[in-house]
Structure 1
Amino acid sequence: MKQKSIILTGGGTAGHVSLNQAIIPELLAQNYDVHYIGSKDGIEKELIGETFPEIPYHEIASGKLRRYFSLKNFSDPFRVMAGVGQAFSIIRKVKPTIIFSKGGFVSVPVVMAAKMANVPVVVHESDVTPGLANKIALPFASHVFTVFKETMQHLPSDKTTCTGSIIRQQLFEGDKERALRLCGFVPTKKVLLVMGGSLGSVVLNDALRENLNQLLPMFNIVHLCGKGNIDESLQNIEGYCQFEYVTEELSDLLFLSDLVVSRAGSNSIFEFLALRKPMLLIPLSAAKSRGDQILNANLFKKQGFAHVLEEEMLTKTTFMKSIEALIKDEEEIIDRMLDAEQPKTPKEMVTLITQYEK
């Protein structure tokens, strides 16, 4: 029997890649010929290349979709159209039975080209409200899967299904001892993990570092600070370990951690929930985003899985008070997490996706 092919796309941030990373092993186990379409310089190239070097990675041009004025708004449509042509050529060569899009700017040319090539497209939306790229992709999609039930009110009911979260199996295979060795920690204190997303967060970094003297007597601290954000003056402080970004080590660090401070990207917060990690969420402000993280965070707060500190209210003092409040509620939050709906497995997600293949 001829081997089936599938093309995955999505990029711009780690959140637009992590689900693809989760389902690739299952697709390979089912003998699919897996290809990935991404941008030349996006984080998706690094993440897919490091984890799955055997998978063909195809680069295309893409333009950023901006909600504000920029001269690049006049040139980027031409980049998108160039990307459509490149994606169409790749699709004609690979001949996939289906294309799965996780969103992000690079996915737009791919889903448009898929429609031209008459290849079904399944789209995944992980935030409460659809992102701009997925809104553009919607007319070209055969079906849309969502993480939040609340998202369905923004999408056509006849081609939308809520799956809940999908968590990669590797996340549950973390090793505390390996993480202790990596960080050089002595296991006598609880561990606080602070992360600002794949690109880092200056405001989170500053709030944490301003409170190190108060936090270190209570915690060993793992700090994922973003590329270029290592503070060399703090490198040799006992109990404080900085990383720009981690990939394979993340599951170990999560297993080691007791509490998490993070932005509120959907993929990350569902991973914390799956591992029963009480979290303080500091969502990206509406001034810096479309407000999706604020909605994500507030839904988790409503369900009792997280505390939320708005970025506009973030100071040295409010950060410390929020950590103290999280410590106080830690056990109650874990109890509520134990009753949460279990995430889908990658195998279940692959079955949902491939039912739409041609």
Structure 2
Amino acid sequence: MKIVVSGGGTGGHIYPAIAFINEVRKHNPEAEFLYIGTKNGLESSIVNRANIPFEAIEISGFKRSLSFENVKTILRFLKGVSISKKYIKQFKPDVVLGTGGYVCGPVVYAAAKLNIPTIIHEQNSVPGLTNKFLSKYVDKVAICFQEAEQFFPRNKVVFTGNPRASEVVGNDRQKGRDVLGFSSTKKIVLIVGGSRGAKPINDAFLEVLPKVGEKQYHVVYVTGEVHYENVKREVDKVGNPSNVIIKPFIHNMPEVLAGIDLIVARAGATTLAEITALGIPSILIPSPYVTNNHQEKNARALSEKGAAIVRLEKEISGAALLTDIDQILLNEEALQQMKVASKGLGIPDAAQKLYDLMKQLI
């Protein structure tokens, strides 16, 4: 079995691709893969670290306003299609999967024109331009939110969920707590503003730090590498409370998630797939800086089912954040109800579902 995978730009496109590859390897250890991405994108380092053969093309996204850059993008797309066809003809895949990002455009389009079975995977509730374009040419469209179905040809859509969810289930709760260094049985809230952090969330947290130190629960605060030194400096001024751990980044997130009781986070698709697979209640602060405001729409899909509280970034203050945390962690009934609601939205076998969809096409 030979599979070409393409996805890039953000971890939200890349990690589901890696999770899918890991799932295929469980079923077929002899399977061969070729990952096509961009040389300068995040996917280059992540895929190489995972020991997956990698080839690169050059591509950029369309500007939403009239721009000469769009002419360059069309030329890059056509060149990317030509190069992708060369890679595909050499590799001879049985199927091609695109998990999002501009790079998928020429790769999956080239495969479709070569009559190779194709799937695109859409992680968000509102798809980007690339997947909308590709949906006209591919055989199947795998989605993670029912809300995304309306944007694609109905006869192609299959609800699979996000393969990343499958990688967090099965981790041990106590081990997650041990990794964080908490020996007590007190509840734990994880606050994280994405891989680069989020200054408004940092500011809100620092605003109420002394009060956080008085709480009967633990707080793990992930600042993002960029903000860590500034946040640590401010924390040191008032004294680091014993129930608060400050970290720049967490590399073993699946392990850590298994040990927590509540998360305060952005509303990226991968994050939501992970926390619903584990049944973790959430306070979601969607990034306002994403295409089509898709993070808020992702978050609303959880809040409407009672699995999350949504707070827009412009609404965030330290007092509001602490009130929301208290209302969940200090109210056992509310906490359990949100856990059940979150678990009900999770798809822990998402990787298997995507694998089964692929097998149908081969």
Q: TM-score, normalised by structure 2?
A: 0.87
Paired residue for 1:305? 307
Aligned pair partner of 2:257 in 245, 254, 259: 254
Paired residue for 1:41? 40
Question: Could you tell me how far 1:115 is from its partner in structure 2?
Answer: 2.7
Alignment of 1:221-236 (within 5 A): 221-231=219-229, 232-233=232-233, 234=235
Deviation per residue, 1:160-191 (Å, 9 max, x gap): 12234444443124345554454444435321
Alignment check: 8 A CA contact 1:14 1:198 kept: no
Aligned pair partner of 2:25 in 22, 25, 28: 28
Do the aligned partners of residues 203 and 133 (structure 1) sit closer, same or farther apart at CA in structure 2, a change above 3 Å counting? Answer: farther
Structure 2 CA distance for aligned equivalents of residues 113 and 42 of structure 1: 20
Residue identity matched to 2:284: L
The two structures, once aligned, show a CA RMSD in angstroms of 2.5
Deviation per residue, 1:7-53 (Å, 9 max, x gap): 11112111112222222122223121012111222222233333x22
Residue identity matched to 2:137: F
Question: Could you tell me how far 1:265 is from its partner in structure 2?
Answer: 1.6
102-111 or 183-192, larger mean C-alpha shift: 183-192
Residue identity matched to 2:102: F
Structure 2 CA distance for aligned equivalents of residues 72 and 272 of structure 1: 39
Residue identity matched to 1:258: D
Question: Could you tell me how far 1:213 is from its partner in structure 2?
Answer: 2.2
Alignment check: 8 A CA contact 2:82 2:110 kept: yes
Alignment check: 8 A CA contact 1:36 1:56 kept: yes
307-316 or 273-282, larger mean C-alpha shift: 307-316
Paired residue for 1:191? 188
Residue identity matched to 2:204: A
Deviation per residue, 1:277-320 (Å, 9 max, x gap): 110011122x6531111111112111111111012212233222
180-189 or 306-315, larger mean C-alpha shift: 180-189
97-106 or 172-181, larger mean C-alpha shift: 172-181
Q: TM-score, normalised by structure 1?
A: 0.87
Question: Could you tell me how far 1:147 is from its partner in structure 2?
Answer: 1.6
Residue identity matched to 1:350: Y
Residue identity matched to 1:23: F
Paired residue for 1:11? 8
Structure 2 CA distance for aligned equivalents of residues 129 and 272 of structure 1: 19
Question: Could you tell me how far 1:225 is from its partner in structure 2?
Answer: 3.1
Question: Could you tell me how far 1:103 is from its partner in structure 2?
Answer: 0.8
Query: 2:273 matched to 1:275?
Result: no
- Equivalenced residues, count: 350
Structure 2 CA distance for aligned equivalents of residues 316 and 72 of structure 1: 42
Paired residue for 1:323? 325
Structure 1 CA distance for aligned equivalents of residues 186 and 81 of structure 2: 53
Question: Could you tell me how far 1:336 is from its partner in structure 2?
Answer: 3.0
**Structure 1: stretches of 5+ with no match in the other structure:** none
Structure 2 CA distance for aligned equivalents of residues 160 and 143 of structure 1: 6
**Structure 2: stretches of 5+ with no match in the other structure:** none
Aligned residue for 1:290, secondary structure, equals helix
